[in-house]
A = this chain, B = another copy of it.
Amino acid sequence: MKKARLDAVVVTRPADMFYLTGYGGDDGAVLIGAGWTCLAATPLYGEHAHRDCWDVEVRAGRLSPGIAAALKGRGVRRLGAQDEHLTVRAWHELEAMIGSRKLMPADGLVGQCRLVKDDREVRMISRAVRAAEQAFDVLFRRGKGAFVGRTEHQVAAELDYQMALAGADGSAFPTVVAAGKGASQPHYRPTSRKIRCGEPVLIDWGACVAGYHSDLTRVVFTDTIPAEIGRIYEVVAAAQAAGLKAVRPGVKAKSVDRAARDVIAEAGYGNEFIHGVGHGVGLEIHEPPVVAGRSEQRLAGNMVITVEPGIYLPGVGGVRIEDDVVVTARGRRRLSSLPVDIRKMVLR
């Protein structure tokens, strides 16, 4: 704030508000100045705010008057706001409300703090990984019957349910279950089509625990392994291993992407790996650091990222393998422990 010459910042991104105060509302605002913090909570979250955010000043009520009251008498002339989160309309409303004070774009300040997790945060992400893995195990151990003849939606919904039974507060994002050709779309949405015996099934899922997310991807085989999918599986597995190995403190995030991408490009599938190799994960499912070709961000201890290379062949199918890792003092520790070996991914 000092560097940007701001007297205060108004924080509105839900994950940032939660990080700073424990406030779990979707709307509201946290105001931070030199030596003071104030939470303006909307009426629907008022009771929650008074209970959970006992260590900050809470003003519950309509948002605009709450923000105006919080600023009053604090000597704020330059106020930062989150221009990557606020809509144009909301920005103008805020501007109209703060009178002669100047509203400045100031996104990323809280995001910078959130980049490096503390040990409790890493534990929460680990718990979210464990809940996701336990749910996967339940379905996998049931074998083909848990997949073949059921719709993609149903498999996704059962995975979500099993995560809740395993202690998750919910799913980290809408679970992806993509059978056969569907897996060629990285952001596939499950359909009401029944999974057929013989189709590989790509599953991209994660759990949420105490606000923290996990994010995993595996491909399981309902029968024999189709030759072409088997080939790209081995390439992706090797690329993921290379990417994981490249994770250590001090390196730029782009070098992790490069390590995985080189393996895929060498195998001739460079154009079929159409996204960055990973992203930070924590209070949001996608958060800094970006782990892609242009990311100059240096990794540091206690950052948590995904490593998830993939190969996508339209009309054929796709493979992506994803794990979550925490950067340690000397290297990395994989938070997930599901096997990658293709022979272990065939359902009985």
Q: Give chain A's interface residues, CB within 8 Å of chain B.
A: 24-26, 43-45, 47-48, 83-89, 91, 105, 107, 153-154, 156-158, 160-161, 163-165, 167-170, 174, 184-190, 192, 274-275, 314
Q: Is the CB of A153 within 8 A of B164?
A: yes
Sample 7 A-B pairs with CB under 8 A, ordered by A number.
A44-B275, A85-B87, A86-B87, A88-B105, A153-B169, A157-B163, A170-B174
Residues of chain B contacted by A44 (CB below 8 angstroms): 185-187, 274-275
Residues of chain B contacted by A169 (CB below 8 angstroms): 153, 189-190, 192
Residues of chain B contacted by A89 (CB below 8 angstroms): 83-84, 105, 107
* Nearest 5 pairs of A and B residues by beta carbon: A157-B164, A161-B161, A83-B88, A84-B89, A157-B161
Residues of chain B contacted by A87 (CB below 8 angstroms): 83-88
Residues of chain B contacted by A274 (CB below 8 angstroms): 43-44
Question: A210's closest neighbor in chain B, by CB?
Answer: B192
Residues of chain B contacted by A45 (CB below 8 angstroms): 185, 187
Question: A91's closest neighbor in chain B, by CB?
Answer: B88
Cross-interface CB contact of A185 among B26, B47, B167, cutoff 8 Å: B47
Q: Assuming A83-B88, A87-B85, A89-B105, is B168 touching A164 (CB within 8 A)?
A: no
Residues of chain B contacted by A43 (CB below 8 angstroms): 274-275
Question: A83's closest neighbor in chain B, by CB?
Answer: B88
Cross-interface CB contact of A153 among B88, B157, B170, cutoff 8 Å: B170
Q: Is the CB of A47 within 8 A of B88?
A: no
Q: State in angstroms the CA–CA spacing of A168 and B190 once bound together.
A: 11
Q: Is the CB of B160 within 8 A of A154?
A: no
Question: A165's closest neighbor in chain B, by CB?
Answer: B154
Smallest beta-carbon distance A277→chain B, Å: 14
Residues of chain B contacted by A105 (CB below 8 angstroms): 88-89
8 more CB-based (< 8 A) A-B contacts, given A25-B187, A169-B190: A44-B275, A84-B88, A87-B87, A87-B88, A153-B168, A154-B164, A157-B161, A157-B165
Smallest beta-carbon distance A74→chain B, Å: 23
Question: A43's closest neighbor in chain B, by CB?
Answer: B274
Residues of chain B contacted by A314 (CB below 8 angstroms): 47
Q: State in angstroms the CA–CA spacing of A18 and B158 once bound together.
A: 27
Q: State in angstroms the CA–CA spacing of A89 and B108 once bound together.
A: 12
Q: State in angstroms the CA–CA spacing of A168 and B154 once bound together.
A: 9
Residues of chain B contacted by A187 (CB below 8 angstroms): 25-26, 44-45, 48
Q: Is the CB of A184 within 8 A of B47?
A: yes
Question: A169's closest neighbor in chain B, by CB?
Answer: B153
Residues of chain B contacted by A189 (CB below 8 angstroms): 24, 169
Residues of chain B contacted by A174 (CB below 8 angstroms): 170
Q: State in angstroms the CA–CA spacing of A313 and B194 once bound together.
A: 46
Smallest beta-carbon distance A297→chain B, Å: 18
Smallest beta-carbon distance A328→chain B, Å: 30
Q: State in angstroms the CA–CA spacing of A89 and B107 once bound together.
A: 10
Residues of chain B contacted by A156 (CB below 8 angstroms): 164, 170
Smallest beta-carbon distance A187→chain B, Å: 5
Q: State in angstroms the CA–CA spacing of A84 and B137 once bound together.
A: 43
Among A161, A163, A192, A275, the one with the most B-chain Cβ atoms within 10 Å of its Cβ is A161
Q: State in angstroms the CA–CA spacing of A21 and B74 once bound together.
A: 49
